[in-house]
Amino acid sequence: MAFTGFRGTANGSVQTSYTDQPGVAVAGMLAFASDYNLVDSALVATAAGIPCGAGVQLVTNASTEPGNLQVPNTLAQTPAATNLTIADFGGIVVFDEGSQSDTNGVPGWAYQRNARVLRNRRSGGRVYVNVNSNDTITVGSSTVNWVISGGSDLKYAAGQFTGAALAGNATVGYSVAITTANYVTNGVASGIAMIEFTG
């Protein structure tokens, strides 16, 4: 997907209608304003961009990129290996007024934009994520699993979250259990659920 410089319709960001029953949340939306204090900025290193609500790796960039004034110089990228561990999990990409949309209206951050990332090592951060169409989330029994590589069956994509570990093979895909996070709301297939980091 390619993220453009606006959210909204293909012709711009002008709102032509609105609903009196807006959705509860969208993927990447923080649950409370205070959660923004747990957010960092990182330059997007994935060429296709990163959708809001995706789990990312944060890696140190040895070279200086324009616009990235963070020290150390940090890049956000979707996972791209099958041997990652929880130590490689950097956090979840946040939806805010600076994010963009792809041509399907999916919010995210384009390549080399400064994305906001809710860091996983900061206890108490709460953020909404998409529930995969193959999953349902049940508080207390579902575990937070970060998809690090999708399978050939195309059911899961890197950066998504699941409520149970994937099989760990080329057909289904690979995931990492994020033991420092819990689901705090239930979620139906293709819906949303809230994750809270516990530190």
Asked whether residue 17 is assigned to any structural domain, the reply reads no
Taking the C-alpha atoms of 39, 165, 153 and 50 in order, what is their torsion angle to the nearest 10 degrees? 0
Range of the domain at 68: 33-197
- Rounded to two decimals, the pTM is 0.86
d(CA 124, CA 176) in angstroms, rounded, equals: 20
Of 178, 175, 88, 91, the residue nearest 134 (C-alpha): 175
Asked whether residue 169 is assigned to any structural domain, the reply reads yes
Instruction: Print pLDDT tens along the chain (199 aa).
Output: 576 655 554 445 555 665 555 566 899 999 988 888 899 989 899 999 999 999 999 988 766 556 556 666 789 999 989 999 999 999 999 998 888 888 888 899 999 898 999 998 888 899 999 999 999 999 999 999 999 999 999 999 999 999 999 999 999 999 999 999 999 999 999 999 999 999 7
Asked whether residue 1 is assigned to any structural domain, the reply reads no
First to last CA, the chain: 32
Name the domain count of the chain.
1
Asked whether residue 185 is assigned to any structural domain, the reply reads yes
Asked whether residue 173 is assigned to any structural domain, the reply reads yes
Asked whether residue 153 is assigned to any structural domain, the reply reads yes
